[in-house]
Amino acid sequence: MLEVRDLAVAYDGVPAVEGASVTVPDGGVLAVLGPSGCGKSTLLRAVAGLEAPSAGSIRWDGRDLARVPTHRRGFALMFQDGQLFEHLTVARNVAYALRLRRVPAARREARVAELLALVGLEGFAGRMPGTLSGGERQRVSLARSLAAEPRLLLLDEPLSALDAGLRERLAGDLAAILRAAGTTTLLVTHDHEEAFAVADSLVVMRAGRVVQQGPIADVWAHPADADTALFLGYARVLEGEAAYRVLAAGDLPPAPAVALRRSALRVTDGPGLEAVVRTARATPELGRLVVELAGVGETDAVCPPGRLPAPGERVRLTLDASRLALLG
């Protein structure tokens, strides 16, 4: 179990991480989510032993790691761009940690084949990294990290360098592979979709500090504040009078603020909130609208794709309680 307590890291006196406490239970997959520059990568690098903390402690199973160098921690770090060893074949890359431990050749080869199969790259053993696509490189990098049988796997934006379609597919694969291998994992990312797809619990960081943490569904349903909600993919946060009006329309208890996803308000034929359409845009699955809601202001809404209203048209909206979060 990894326990990071009150960790602080500074670069030339400028704090990058302050008072961060994070725990990853054995077998758990924790995602650290935050915008770029929030200190999440620094946190990861400190756990890997690549940055020296200026305060706080990092422990594994209760043992302090302050004096343990990177190569003795048993934490495999996978970089955003893979960092494969370009002069070694795919098989040699994957076998790197096994060779360091002088695993006998037969067992090594079997393990490499097994890992390449796990990441879906059978038959790539003899290829050179230079001939691989971005997605393939990340898969090799993952296999190389898993081959080390790390006590903890550290993933630094593992999918960010890939294009959108590939990222989505690989995120699913990654989650399945990590569950299959049962590897304790700490993942940092700025992409909430990636975090949701891969992790089971979440830490949200901002400006070097942890602002919220918990099981992924809890964080998702109850963002700590407006900024967190927006970062988690909520489209708008309404406060005060505007929040009361919208919540009242959905027969929900009043709250000082409410975070809405873009599909929280839906065009209806029945009764609902009156609104004027500002812009309307058709997508394959939904019509997406920006509407002016009396007493609330501009907000988003959706409608069935076949019945796109024109700008200026009056519509009535109903609230979908599963697509919003109440803020305290």
| Cα–Cα distances in angstroms (integers) from residue 115 to residues 92, 112, 209, 317, in the given order | 12, 5, 36, 52
Print the binding letters for residues 26-45 with other proteins: x by CB under 8 A, - otherwise.
Answer: --------------------
Helices (H), 148-182: 164-181
Q: How far apart are CA 88 and CA 262, in angstroms?
A: 47
Where in 10-29 is the site for other proteins (CB under 8 A)?
Answer: 11-12
Determine contact, residues 20/41, Cβ cutoff 8 Å. Answer: no
Residues in CB range of 172: below 8 A, 6 or more apart: 197
Q: Hey, is 294 helix, strand or coil?
A: coil
How many residues bind other proteins (CB under 8 A)? The answer is 28
290 residue type, one letter: V
Taking CB under 8 A as the criterion, the residue among 26, 35, 101, 297 binding other proteins is 101
Nearest distance, CB of residue 254 and other proteins, angstroms: 50
| Residue 13 CB, nearest approach to other proteins (Å) | 8
| φ and ψ of 111, to 5 deg | -65, -40
When binding is defined by CB under 8 A, the residue of 5, 28, 68, 79 that contacts other proteins is 79
Judged on CB neighbours under 10 Å (0-12, 13-18, 19+), 312 is: exposed
Bridge partners, residue 109, by sequence: none
- Residues 142-161 interacting with other proteins (rule: CB under 8 A): 144-145, 148, 154
Q: With respect to other proteins, which residue has the nearer C-beta, 13 or 270? A: 13
Q: Return the range that interacts with other proteins (CB under 8 A); candidates 75-83, 111-119, 231-239, 244-252.
A: 75-83
Quick one: 66 or 217, whose CB is closer to other proteins?
66
Please identify, using beta-carbon distances, which residue of 94 and 247 lies nearer to other proteins.
94
Q: Minimum CB separation from other proteins for residue 158, in Å?
A: 13
Element of type H or E holding 266: strand 265-268
**Residues forming the site for other proteins (CB under 8 A):** 11-12, 48-52, 69-77, 79, 83, 85, 87, 96-97, 100-101, 144-145, 148, 154
